[in-house]
Structure 1
Amino acid sequence: MDSPATPHPTDPHASWRTWVPGQRVVVRRRVPTGGYTDVLGHLLAVGDDGVVVDTRRGPEAVAAADIALGKIVPPPPAPRRPRRG
Protein backbone atom coordinates (compact mmCIF):
# COMPACT_ATOMS: atom_id res chain seq x y z
CA MET A 1 0.00 0.00 0.00
CA ASP A 2 1.34 3.44 -0.92
CA SER A 3 1.57 6.17 1.68
CA PRO A 4 0.68 9.76 0.71
CA ALA A 5 4.39 10.67 0.79
CA THR A 6 5.47 8.09 -1.81
CA PRO A 7 4.85 8.45 -5.54
CA HIS A 8 2.45 6.03 -7.12
CA PRO A 9 4.41 3.61 -9.30
CA THR A 10 1.86 4.00 -12.10
CA ASP A 11 2.31 7.79 -12.20
CA PRO A 12 5.96 8.68 -12.91
CA HIS A 13 5.20 12.43 -12.94
CA ALA A 14 3.71 12.51 -9.43
CA SER A 15 6.81 13.81 -7.65
CA TRP A 16 4.54 16.40 -6.03
CA ARG A 17 3.32 13.65 -3.71
CA THR A 18 6.71 13.75 -1.94
CA TRP A 19 6.60 17.50 -1.25
CA VAL A 20 6.48 18.81 2.32
CA PRO A 21 4.27 21.71 3.47
CA GLY A 22 6.27 24.93 3.70
CA GLN A 23 8.24 24.36 0.49
CA ARG A 24 7.94 26.95 -2.28
CA VAL A 25 6.55 25.27 -5.38
CA VAL A 26 5.17 25.91 -8.83
CA VAL A 27 2.39 23.70 -10.18
CA ARG A 28 1.36 23.68 -13.83
CA ARG A 29 -2.34 22.88 -13.89
CA ARG A 30 -4.62 21.95 -16.76
CA VAL A 31 -7.55 24.29 -17.32
CA PRO A 32 -10.92 23.36 -18.85
CA THR A 33 -10.23 25.40 -22.02
CA GLY A 34 -7.41 23.00 -22.88
CA GLY A 35 -4.49 25.17 -21.81
CA TYR A 36 -2.37 25.44 -18.70
CA THR A 37 -1.79 27.94 -15.92
CA ASP A 38 0.83 28.09 -13.18
CA VAL A 39 0.21 28.25 -9.44
CA LEU A 40 3.20 29.62 -7.48
CA GLY A 41 3.59 29.85 -3.72
CA HIS A 42 4.25 27.95 -0.51
CA LEU A 43 2.76 24.50 -0.13
CA LEU A 44 0.10 24.33 2.58
CA ALA A 45 -1.08 20.73 2.11
CA VAL A 46 -0.45 17.68 -0.06
CA GLY A 47 -2.52 14.52 -0.36
CA ASP A 48 -3.75 11.92 -2.81
CA ASP A 49 -6.45 14.36 -3.96
CA GLY A 50 -3.97 17.15 -4.85
CA VAL A 51 -2.23 20.11 -3.27
CA VAL A 52 -3.07 23.45 -1.67
CA VAL A 53 -0.68 26.31 -2.46
CA ASP A 54 -0.61 29.65 -0.63
CA THR A 55 -0.36 32.15 -3.51
CA ARG A 56 -0.28 35.97 -3.46
CA ARG A 57 -4.06 35.85 -3.92
CA GLY A 58 -4.59 33.36 -1.10
CA PRO A 59 -4.78 29.57 -0.83
CA GLU A 60 -5.49 27.73 -4.06
CA ALA A 61 -6.38 24.04 -4.28
CA VAL A 62 -5.16 22.08 -7.30
CA ALA A 63 -6.77 18.68 -7.89
CA ALA A 64 -4.42 15.77 -8.59
CA ALA A 65 -6.12 15.16 -11.94
CA ASP A 66 -5.31 18.75 -13.00
CA ILE A 67 -1.58 18.66 -12.15
CA ALA A 68 0.48 18.44 -15.35
CA LEU A 69 3.88 19.26 -13.83
CA GLY A 70 5.32 20.66 -10.66
CA LYS A 71 8.61 21.42 -8.98
CA ILE A 72 10.18 22.92 -5.90
CA VAL A 73 11.52 26.42 -6.61
CA PRO A 74 13.96 28.72 -4.78
CA PRO A 75 12.83 31.66 -2.65
CA PRO A 76 11.84 34.83 -4.50
CA PRO A 77 14.63 37.34 -5.17
CA ALA A 78 15.16 40.14 -2.68
CA PRO A 79 13.33 43.38 -3.53
CA ARG A 80 15.36 45.78 -5.65
CA ARG A 81 16.30 49.18 -4.36
CA PRO A 82 14.65 52.05 -6.25
CA ARG A 83 16.75 53.84 -8.84
CA ARG A 84 17.83 57.37 -8.25
CA GLY A 85 17.69 59.56 -11.21
Structure 2
Amino acid sequence: MVVRYLLPTGQATDALGTLMSADAETVVVDGKRGVETIAVSDIIAAKEVPPPPKPRSRR
Protein backbone atom coordinates (compact mmCIF):
# COMPACT_ATOMS: atom_id res chain seq x y z
CA MET A 1 0.00 0.00 0.00
CA VAL A 2 1.12 3.55 -0.52
CA VAL A 3 -0.03 6.41 1.70
CA ARG A 4 0.71 10.04 0.82
CA TYR A 5 0.58 12.28 3.86
CA LEU A 6 1.69 15.70 5.11
CA LEU A 7 4.70 16.16 7.37
CA PRO A 8 4.58 18.79 10.16
CA THR A 9 6.46 21.13 7.77
CA GLY A 10 3.58 20.92 5.29
CA GLN A 11 5.61 18.93 2.79
CA ALA A 12 4.04 15.74 1.38
CA THR A 13 5.77 12.36 1.59
CA ASP A 14 4.89 8.73 0.90
CA ALA A 15 4.88 5.61 3.04
CA LEU A 16 5.17 2.48 0.89
CA GLY A 17 4.79 -0.92 2.51
CA THR A 18 2.41 -3.36 4.16
CA LEU A 19 -0.66 -2.05 5.95
CA MET A 20 -0.35 -3.28 9.54
CA SER A 21 -3.47 -1.66 11.03
CA ALA A 22 -5.95 1.14 10.55
CA ASP A 23 -8.58 2.76 12.75
CA ALA A 24 -10.45 6.06 12.87
CA GLU A 25 -7.37 7.99 14.04
CA THR A 26 -4.23 6.28 12.67
CA VAL A 27 -2.87 4.08 9.90
CA VAL A 28 0.25 1.95 10.51
CA VAL A 29 2.44 1.00 7.52
CA ASP A 30 5.52 -1.25 7.72
CA GLY A 31 7.90 -0.20 4.94
CA LYS A 32 11.57 0.24 4.06
CA ARG A 33 11.90 3.11 6.57
CA GLY A 34 10.40 0.96 9.30
CA VAL A 35 6.99 1.12 10.92
CA GLU A 36 5.26 4.45 10.34
CA THR A 37 2.20 5.57 12.30
CA ILE A 38 0.29 8.18 10.31
CA ALA A 39 -2.58 10.31 11.56
CA VAL A 40 -5.66 9.95 9.35
CA SER A 41 -6.04 13.75 9.38
CA ASP A 42 -2.61 14.05 7.65
CA ILE A 43 -3.41 11.62 4.80
CA ILE A 44 -3.83 13.14 1.34
CA ALA A 45 -4.28 9.89 -0.63
CA ALA A 46 -3.85 6.14 -0.25
CA LYS A 47 -4.14 3.12 -2.50
CA GLU A 48 -3.30 -0.54 -2.70
CA VAL A 49 -0.35 -1.41 -4.94
CA PRO A 50 0.66 -4.84 -6.22
CA PRO A 51 3.68 -6.58 -4.67
CA PRO A 52 7.02 -6.07 -6.44
CA PRO A 53 7.84 -8.59 -9.19
CA LYS A 54 10.00 -11.58 -8.32
CA PRO A 55 13.64 -11.32 -9.47
CA ARG A 56 14.36 -12.83 -12.87
CA SER A 57 16.61 -15.84 -13.05
CA ARG A 58 19.89 -15.47 -14.94
CA ARG A 59 20.26 -17.26 -18.22
* TM-score, normalized by the shorter chain, greater than 0.5: yes
Q: AA paired with 1:48?
A: A
Alpha carbon RMSD of aligned pairs, Å? 1.5
Q: Is residue 2:14 matched to residue 1:44?
A: no
Unaligned runs of 5+ in 2: none
Identity level (%): 50
Task: Please identify the structure whose Cα radius of gyration is greater.
Answer: 1
Provide TM-score, normalisation by structure 1.
Answer: 0.61
Give every structure 1 segment of 4 or more consecutive aligned residues whose post-TM-superposition deviation is greater than 6 Å: none
Provide TM-score, normalisation by structure 2.
Answer: 0.84
Unaligned runs of 5+ in 1: 1-24
Q: Relative contact order: is structure 1 or structure 2 higher (C-alpha 8 Å, sep ≥ 6)?
A: 2
Paired with 2:13 and 2:56, the residues of 1 have a C-alpha distance of 27
